[in-house]
Amino acid sequence: MNYTLVSVTIIMLIAAIVLAKGFKFPRNIWVLFVSQPLVLCVSPVITFIGGLLASKIAPDPTLATLPLTFMIIGIALGTFSVAYFSIRLGRKTATSLGFINGILATLVAMLAAISASFYLLIIAALFLGISLAFVQQLRFAALESVSVDDGPKVLSALMLSGILAAFIGPEIALIGKDWIASPHGYAGSFLGLAGLLTIALIIFQLFTNPHVATTQELSQVARPLKDIAKQPIFIIAMLSAAIGYGLMSFLMTATPISMHDMMGHSLEDTKGVLQSHITAMFLPSLFTGYLIKRFGETAIMLVGTLMFALVAVIALQGQQVVHYWWALVLLGIGWNFLFITGTVLLPKSYHAHERFKVQALNDFAIFTIQAIASLGAGWLLFASNWHTLVYISMPFVLLMFLVCLWNLKLISGKRT
């Protein structure tokens, strides 16, 4: 019996009950709390297993991060599909279609492992990314399901559920590694992932579409997207999330290969660092919403940026497990602060009837940057070394400091 998996499952169920009974959040919130992390398991599995499998079946080992890159490209490309289907079918039906697409894609990934087909693995990763695009925008569905005052708390609770994905995904991947015979293993890992997505699809059928637009708003003409995108508040919100995601992906993507393949650290140590990183991405959500409400978006954005600066300092000290662990943990915390802050700021840039297209544009920008970062990480790692990646990240940390100052100036201007 895998006690980690059993423990995480019990914690997830208890937390869902607390959200429903203790905090009196609507049903949508606990439905999302349980179903979302099951689908988000795709990300750690592709990061952990996809890179290791690709390094064995790719025509060139420098292409080992390509599955993760194509998954992120799929997220970016899928954002506009989410908007299209959500407008026409509603979030519930659209997201259900996204889940079904993910189930089919995991089975394609399983076939890729069985046949040792690198290109089939790439195709599967692309479509898994499209499924994740539907899941990523559920954070806005959570905000739409509650009052404005409850928004940061609900978003924090939903983000916290990502910790579950950090443990469930890699555990299922390792448990199922040899369920199905394949040249390099891992075919059963994708079968287990398909099972998780199927459970998520069933639970998600309890979700109901939130009603957010009034009759008056629906009768208004939506502003052109370019006009919305030119607003300082939109640019700041988007950059906070995009730079956070880009830097996080840039270093995280390279970590398994740098640790295991280049430095010779064990698979268990590599898994532990990644699990700690993903935990650090979501555990601060216990208090991020409170901190934003208490100190404001700019302060939390600044702390997140400082975390990224510390990542560079620690990562340059060495390449022992402890250096990777601290760097990746701080990277996760910094991402959490920047991403949640950006998500909270974004609704200030649009009216309710404009939400789908603005959310799609925001996520397209975020995940396009993440895809570029992921693709560049693999190539640069093999072309140079881990420390080069750290040095390259520094100008973007400086850019994020400038974004913080811009937001502070914007707030000061509104007060005068």
Radius of gyration for the alpha carbons in the chain, expressed in angstroms and rounded: 20
Q: How far apart are CA 46 and CA 42, in angstroms?
A: 6
Give the per-residue pLDDT at 266. Answer: 87
Q: How far apart are CA 164 and CA 130, in angstroms?
A: 21
pLDDT band, very low/low/confident/very high, at 15 (cuts 50, 70, 90):
low
Q: Looking at per-residue confidence, does 175 or 234 come out higher?
A: 234
Could you please state the CATH topology (level 3) that the domain comprising 223-416 is classified under: Growth Hormone; Chain: A; (1.20.1250)
Condensed to tens digits (0 to 9), the pLDDT of residues 294-305 reads 898 899 999 999
Cβ-based neighbour number of residue 212 at 10 Å: 14
Q: How far apart are CA 122 and CA 129, in angstroms?
A: 11
Report the candidate in 44, 277, 18, 37 with the shortest Cα–Cα distance to residue 160.
Answer: 37
Give the per-residue pLDDT at 213. Answer: 54
Asked if the domains 1-210 and 223-416 are classified in one and the same CATH topology, the answer is: yes
Give the per-residue pLDDT at 2. Answer: 64
What's the mean pLDDT when you consider all of the chain?
86
Does the pLDDT value for residue 94 go beyond 80? yes
Condensed to tens digits (0 to 9), the pLDDT of residues 120-162 reads 999 999 999 999 999 888 888 887 787 766 777 777 777 777 7
Give the per-residue pLDDT at 309. Answer: 96
What are the extents of the domains in the chain?
Answer: 1-210, 223-416
First-last CA distance in the chain: 62
* Mean pLDDT along residues 315-329: 95
Sequence-ordered list of residues with C-beta below 8 angstroms from that of 18, at least 6 positions apart, any chain: none
Condensed to tens digits (0 to 9), the pLDDT of residues 383-411 reads 889 999 999 999 999 999 999 999 888 88
pLDDT band, very low/low/confident/very high, at 16 (cuts 50, 70, 90):
low
Give the per-residue pLDDT at 220. Answer: 63
In this prediction the pTM is 0.77
* Mean pLDDT along residues 202-209: 92
Q: How far apart are CA 140 and CA 151, in angstroms?
A: 10
pLDDT band, very low/low/confident/very high, at 209 (cuts 50, 70, 90):
confident
Give the per-residue pLDDT at 386. Answer: 92
User: Which CATH number does the domain 1-210 belong to among 1.20.1250.20, 1.10.10.410, 3.40.50.10470, 3.90.550.10?
Assistant: 1.20.1250.20
The pLDDT > 70 percentage for the chain reads: 92
